Amino acid sequence: MQATVRNDKPVIVIKLGGSMIERLTEEFYESFHGLLKHYHCLIVHGGGPAITALLGRMDIEGEFHEGLRKTTKETLEVVEMVLGGKVNAQITSALARQDILPVGLKGCDASLLTASYVNQEDLGFVGQVEEVKTDLLYNCMQAGYLPVVAPLGKTQNGQTVNINADLAAAAIAKAMQAEKLLFVTDVPGIISEDEVIKETSPEEIESLISGGCIYGGMIPKVQSAMAALSEHLQEVMIVSGEDALIQGDRMKGTKIRATVKERAE
């Protein structure tokens, strides 16, 4: 059974990539009015480019392990400032301008996201979600608020850790038994032969990648979306942050289902 807030509306989780934050349009934020008629919404956001920019201004050199950024104690302070401060406030302010009631939350607040280390020796203060305090999110939504979550977690011994936003969004969607998880990108969906594919499956996507129809920066976008699919989450979507999320009663973008019974026309 899909999660509801007091059996009223299903839940959707919307993941905003850090590279998209500055490019989200007023039309995108305004479309939440339409979404909220049908769903309880919850946003999880990244902030990679803003973190990199502030580290540069502070002359803090990044450390990497096998291409992944190591989160040192010094870096973690910057991550907390950017995710929990600048970026979260930017999103909540944009929603408030549309007369929507957002509430900014850090995953490390009130043990919202309990986490463990991914690999403390190699990656430092990087975590993975072990538990989500769903009651806190349900209570916010029941009261009419739209939670905006910064992907920071707290370990059992009280240490704050940085969590990959894609993985945090997938973990929250699973815990909330969300009906959908939306990945907001700079494209209107998966495009093949100049047309947006309405619905597809991981098998079809792999075929499109091997055939060269999906290429370049689109590959990691669809791979992140596919990785979120599970027995608990049967549908994810790739949508645009430069346009409205909904048209009439229908969401715009590409649905990726674990299995596709019939390709939408």
SS3 labels along 10-50: EEEEEEECHHHHHHCCHHHHHCHHHHHHHCEEEEEECCHHH
Whether the CB-CB separation of 135 and 110 falls below 8 Å is answered with no
pLDDT tens-digit series, residues 102-134:
999 999 999 999 999 999 999 999 999 999 999
Domain extents in the chain: 11-257
Give the burial class of 187: count Cβ atoms within 10 A of its Cβ; 0-12 exposed, 13-18 middle, 19 or more buried.
middle
Tell me what percent of the chain is helix, strand and coil, each rounded to the nearest 5.
40, 30, 35
Pairing of strands 235-240, 254-257: antiparallel
Q: What is the pLDDT along the chain (265 residues), one digit of tens a residue?
A: 444 454 579 999 999 998 899 999 999 999 999 999 999 999 999 999 999 999 999 999 878 887 678 999 999 999 999 999 999 999 999 999 999 999 999 999 999 999 999 999 999 999 999 999 999 999 999 999 999 999 999 999 999 999 999 999 999 999 999 999 999 988 888 888 888 899 999 999 999 899 888 888 778 788 888 888 887 788 899 998 988 888 777 888 999 988 755 444 4
Binding residues for substrate: 47-48, 69, 162
pTM for the model: 0.89
CB atoms under 10 Å from CB of 230, counted, come to 12
Binding residues: 47-48, 69, 162
| Predicted local confidence at residue 260, as pLDDT | 52
**Strand positions, DSSP E, 109-197:** 113-117, 126-132, 146-150, 152-154, 160-163, 180-185, 191-192, 195-196
Fold of 11-257: Carbamate kinase (3.40.1160)
Percent of the chain with pLDDT over 90: 66
pLDDT tens-digit series, residues 1-17:
444 454 579 999 999 99
